Structure 1
Amino acid sequence: MCISAEVNFVASAVIGAVGVATLAHVRHPRDVLFGAMPLLFALHQFTEGFVWLGLDGAISELSRDNAAFLFLLYAQGILPIAMPLSVLLMEDVPWRRVALAAITALAFVFGAYMIWGVMSFPTSCYAENRSVVYSNPVTETMWTGILYILVTCGALVLSGFHVVRWFGVLNLIGLTVVFLMKSYAFSSVWCFYAAVISVLLYWQFRTGKIRPLPAMA
């Protein structure tokens, strides 16, 4: 994310508290993975706090590189699998389940490729304009970016649940803004944005407003 380690750690604490509260209101086993998203995002931001500490010279380069590896592994490899899978698990409408199953299958192949890229090729990270820039020769390409948007936001927008759909729309808006303003630090800035808006999921689970949209004929 932007600015400093302190911002990441504070955001992680706040989002993490909301994430625990969100999970406490999840009532169905199939909703657990989606309900865990705020907590997972909080842990992700906590990891990037250590990247910042490394960039600021507060911890060793090895510790910084390990933190950067974990951050990118989740952001580019695990998240694009977990997001569509969580949406698929909650869906009840047959035609949506078929479509989401196809996206999830693509996500597993894509995620495996991204994990291979993060694990097999060196990733550099540095600060630019108070944002963290991650650079990997395999995962940072135009086509991987397109597939990333398809399997994450595409699955969210396709969902039959209001909360999931709006979460997807807000993420698409965020993706566009980040791409236009800070494309060089895309992974870091977008993940922070997604983490922040994930707190909205608490209110949906708390008030029981996870409801499917009417099935299309």
Structure 2
Amino acid sequence: MCFSAEVSFGASAVISSVGVLAIKKSTSKEQKLFAMIPILFGIQQFCEGWLWVALQNEGFVITELIATYGFLIFAQLIWPIWVPLSAFTLEKNKRRKNLIGFSLAVGVILTAILAYRMSIYEVTAQIDAHHIFYTVGHFKSTNWWSGILYLLPAVFPFIFSSNKHINYLGIAMLLLFIVSKIFYLKYMISTWCMFAAVLSIYIFYILKKEQKEAMLH
């Protein structure tokens, strides 16, 4: 599978458009954070699109810096909090809400650690074999165990949800995480974020179904 600026920009346009529709389908304030996920993924892919442009052309040093940090801020600082928080606000079952709350607490701690790491180590990105390889200091995504803790706040809150369709989304994200680990280990950050971004389109269907059920009641 090859990625490029065109793929990232195209994904950004489609996913962001679906995100706008998802927000329109949200019927309560509790759904807003969940509905905004596709738009945020669209922005993240837009950042990576510009990173492709910067890395493939000379004289885009500032663009490269902004795009690299822009993408990684979403990947490592926003998603570990946004995903569990969105699931937490939606959840009504007390036991499941406690599980999601624990995931959120882990996400806050993980975000603090990753933010500290990004602030003191050099952050770089480079094109390698039609993918972008990100590094933060000596920390790289080339070990099978790297990013496993990330799953607890970034994926499992959806699996913990009492909404079966949100469960399906979480399970699909987990499966694609495993696929990325097996086939794209070195490019894990870039590849899995793209997969998750495409999967976020399903959020529109979930909210559309919720809106339909709300109208029937």
Give the TM-score normalised by structure 1. Answer: 0.91
CA offset digits 1:86-107 (Å, max 9, x no partner):
1111000011111111111111
Please give the alpha-carbon distance, in whole angstroms, between the structure 1 residues aligned to 2:162 and 2:172: 16
Please give the alpha-carbon distance, in whole angstroms, between the structure 1 residues aligned to 2:113 and 2:2: 28
Q: What does residue 101 of structure 2 align with? A: 101
Structure 2 residue runs of 5 or longer lacking an equivalent are: none
Confirm whether residue 180 of structure 1 aligns to residue 190 of structure 2: no
Kindly tell me the number of residue pairs found equivalent between the two proteins: 211
Q: What does residue 110 of structure 2 align with? A: 110
Report the Cα offset of residue 119 of structure 1: 2.4
On the 8 A contact 1:12/1:42 being kept in 2, the answer is yes
Confirm whether residue 200 of structure 1 aligns to residue 202 of structure 2: yes
Q: What does residue 34 of structure 1 align with? A: 34
* Residue type of the alignment partner of 2:3: I
**CA RMSD, aligned part only?**
1.9
Q: Which moved more, 1:44-53 or 1:94-103?
A: 94-103
On the 8 A contact 1:117/1:139 being kept in 2, the answer is no
Please give the alpha-carbon distance, in whole angstroms, between the structure 2 residues aligned to 1:204 and 1:183: 30
Between the aligned residues of both structures, percent identity stands at 28
Within 5 Å, give how 1:1-217 maps onto structure 2. Answer: 2-57=2-57, 60-137=60-137, 140=140, 145-208=147-210
* Residue type of the alignment partner of 1:87: A
CA offset digits 1:66-122 (Å, max 9, x no partner):
210111111011111111111111000011111111111111111111122122211
On the 8 A contact 1:162/1:210 being kept in 2, the answer is no
CA offset digits 1:135-168 (Å, max 9, x no partner):
1136546665121012211211111111211111
Please give the alpha-carbon distance, in whole angstroms, between the structure 1 residues aligned to 2:72 and 2:80: 12
Please give the alpha-carbon distance, in whole angstroms, between the structure 2 residues aligned to 1:210 and 1:118: 43
SS in 2 for 1:34: helix
